[in-house]
Amino acid sequence: MSLSIGIVGLPNVGKSTLFNALTKAQNAESANYAFCTIEPNKAVVPVPDIRLDVLAGLVNPQRVVNSTVDFVDIAGLVAGASKGEGLGNKFLANIRETQAILHVVRCFDDDDVIHVANSVDPLRDIEVIETELILADVQVLENRIERMEKMLKGDKGLAPKIEVAKQLMAHLDQAHPAATFQSDSKALPDLLNELRLITAKNVIYCANVDEDGLTEDNDYIRAVRGLAEKRGAEFVRISARMEEELVGLEDEDYREFLESYGITESGLDQIIRTGFHTLGLISYFTAGEKEVRAWTIHDGDKAPRAAGVIHTDFERGFIRAEVIAYDNFVKHGSEAKCRGEGVLRVEGKEYVMKDGDVVHFLFNV
């Protein structure tokens, strides 16, 4: 399992610059004009986790494998995108495949950086994008309702799904995102799973700021943070330009550069940490001579499901899990010593995994 995040926003708000910085690969063209990105850019980015480095230092494996985040940079959307304006809706399908949306909004003034609307207004910009995403979802839902109604004569079981679909349509028609729709209908989860509506996804609002905005609020930043708080969404503040300058720096220079801006965490770390929290994800580790590896699971997953992330056979033939808490592994330095000190636990099928567990699964198929 990997976390997938789609980067959206108006043209020329810093999405591609941020993408370049986050992926540390200059494969997303960046320029000071609208629609610079004409194809969706995708990259798989390792999740920074100091715990992996610590475990690798103790185990000395042949390789270290991080968890990953898939970043998808979508071309800038404009008013009318759902009907084909600008680059149209050809990119909206890419957003549907992601788990979360990073909505990048410009929150700084600079006469040298063109804005598609010729002025900076984060709340207006957010409304433009969200309106287009809702309209795109309306089109998808309309098509699904029409197909289900044609199938109803041969499958009466579709009636509850059609009913809740129409209720959801009325909700979208009021300019409300699918994420805020509530219903007790048992048909709703299946419907949402089938449709993959864009506005049903978790949103992280990302204020793209200048150097001053990294440590001080301005009216733009306060407006975006206030909107996020009102909606119960996550908020991050980054400087895409600064993040791009971090690319390629050695660890010591990297830390010094962050400190020079008065911050301790890069935009990449912020976004990944926030993304994990938004989607309720955690990591566990396997540690052996061949590799030390991080695996991404949902918070609350039990041991068999966590084992299935490695291989479906592990879940199907699960016997037990040998578990060491990360802190105990670091304290004692090896699996053998943890076993000798009695801190290695044997857990069964009902064990709920904890973030940072170091695990060895036993299975039989």
Q: Is 59 annotated as a binding residue?
A: no
Q: What percent of the chain has pLDDT over 70?
A: 90
pLDDT of 91 reads 63
Q: Is 246 a residue whose pLDDT tops 90?
A: no
Select the more confidently predicted residue: 87 or 144.
144
Q: Mean pLDDT lowest for which of 34-43, 64-73, 119-128, 347-356?
A: 34-43
CA distance 294 to 290: 14
Question: Does the structure show a pLDDT above 70 at 76?
Answer: no
Report the candidate in 137, 22, 138, 132 with the shortest Cα–Cα distance to residue 75: 132
Give the 3-state secondary structure of residue 354: coil
Is the pLDDT confidence value at 87 over 70?
no
Q: What is the CA radius of gyration of the chain?
A: 23
What is the side-by-side order of every strand in the sheet holding 63-65? 63-65, 291-298, 281-287, 358-363, 318-324, 345-347
Biggest alpha carbon–alpha carbon distance for the chain: 68
What is the structure's pLDDT at 26?
37
Distance, in Å, from the CA atom of 325 to the CA atom of 316, rounded to the nearest integer, reads 24
Burial code (b: 16+ CB inside 10 Å, e: under 16) for 61-81 equals beebebbbbbbbbbbbbbbeb
**DSSP-derived 3-state class of residue 133:** helix
State the average pLDDT for the chain. 87
Residue 16 has pLDDT above 60, yes or no: yes
Q: Tens digits of per-residue pLDDT, 160-192?
A: 999 999 999 999 999 999 999 999 999 999 999
Cα(141)–Cα(144) distance, rounded to whole angstroms? 5
Identify the band that residue 252 occupies on the pLDDT scale cut at 50, 70 and 90: confident
pLDDT at 86 over 60: no
Which structure tokens are listed for 92? 């909206």
13 is in an annotated binding site: yes
Determine whether the annotation assigns residue 202 to a binding site.
Answer: no
pLDDT of residue 33: 40
User: For residue 32, what pLDDT is reported?
Assistant: 47
Position 29 pLDDT exceeds 60: no
Between 158 and 90, the higher pLDDT residue: 158
Q: How many CA atoms lie within 13 A of 126 on its CB side?
A: 27
Question: Is 14 annotated in some ligand binding site?
Answer: yes
Say if residue 359 carries a ligand binding annotation: no
For 119-157, how does the pLDDT look when each residue is reduced to its tens digit (9 = 90+)?
889 999 999 999 989 998 999 999 999 999 999 888 888
Tens digits of per-residue pLDDT, 109-122? 988 887 777 888 99
- In the three-class reduction of DSSP (H, G, I as helix; E, B as strand; rest coil), residue 14 is classed as coil
Beta-sheet pairing, 41-46 with 100-106: unpaired
User: Domains in the chain, ordered, with CATH?
Assistant: 3-47+67-121+201-278 (3.40.50.300), 132-199 (1.10.150.300), 300-363 (3.10.20.30)
